[in-house]
Amino acid sequence: MKNELNIVGIQADLAWEYPTENLTFFEEEIKILSKNSDLVVLPELFTTGFSMNAEKIAEKMNGKTVSWMQKMAKENSLAICGSLVIEENKKYYNRLIFVHPSGRIETYNKRHSFTLAGEDKIYTSGKESLVINYKGWKICPLICYDLRFPVWARNTHNYDLLIYIANWPVTRINAWDTLLKARAIENMSYVIGVNRTGKDANNYEYSGNSLIVDFFGKETSNLKKYEIGIIRGTLIKTDQNSIRKKLGFLEDKDTFEIKI
């Protein structure tokens, strides 16, 4: 078990439906990371932006981007995660791919489709949550609109870190900031939120506001609005565990059942 987990989020102005340019950018950013980085988190749909042109941009699990992620993980001895459009059995998914340093893959399909943008008409929603075991840490990865639904994120699995990746527009960025902290507080968990910047082909503007918060909802690292670059944080498991034990808030949570 690793007591300290060094995480990195990369905030980028994504090139619209242009995977080659986006992968080149992220590869350059990853190459300059320190050797003690454990986990790199990329934004939602990091190769294309939040596009509904699924038929045009979809890849297979054995396609270019997943292979690139495995290459980056192995070469840099770290884990990497982000989402892209995956076509499988004639269905399209907004799928988060988590690649371990060995190249082993775990996946999560976005549960809550963003109906305001018609995502529910294009992409198939996921039905299962995922908790990843990595270096002794339990990690729960979620995607953008999932952030608005606390039941789906409720810490019933004793996870240590919540990941949210997003294309969250500047018009609702206050909700992004507030809800990330709320999820950390109610679940007594570290949280990292990685968002994009810039403007997409639909003229939606994104300010980034990527941040890392601790189990009290306190910001420990953040990026300025519209800034392109890296956010870093060192998470300490013993600090989180001692506070959980001392306060005992998670022991008082309600039981519930989610119906899919």
**Residue 115: its pLDDT value, please?**
97
Confidence label for 35 from pLDDT (cuts 50, 70 and 90): confident
* Contact assessment for residue 33 and residue 76, using Cβ atoms and an 8 Å cutoff: yes
Using CA atoms, how far residue 64 sits from 70, 80, 105, in Å, is 10, 15, 14
Distance CA 128, CA 116 (A): 23
**Interval 170-193: pLDDT, tens:** 999 999 999 999 999 999 999 999
Confidence label for 4 from pLDDT (cuts 50, 70 and 90): very high
pTM for this one?
0.97
Q: In the CATH scheme, what is the code of domain 4-252?
A: 3.60.110.10
Active site residues: 44, 110, 144
Average pLDDT over all residues of the chain: 97
**Interval 105-130: pLDDT, tens:** 999 999 999 999 999 999 999 999 99
Percentage above 70 pLDDT, the chain? 100
Confidence label for 244 from pLDDT (cuts 50, 70 and 90): very high
Tell me how crowded residue 248 is: count the other CB atoms within 10 A of its CB.
10
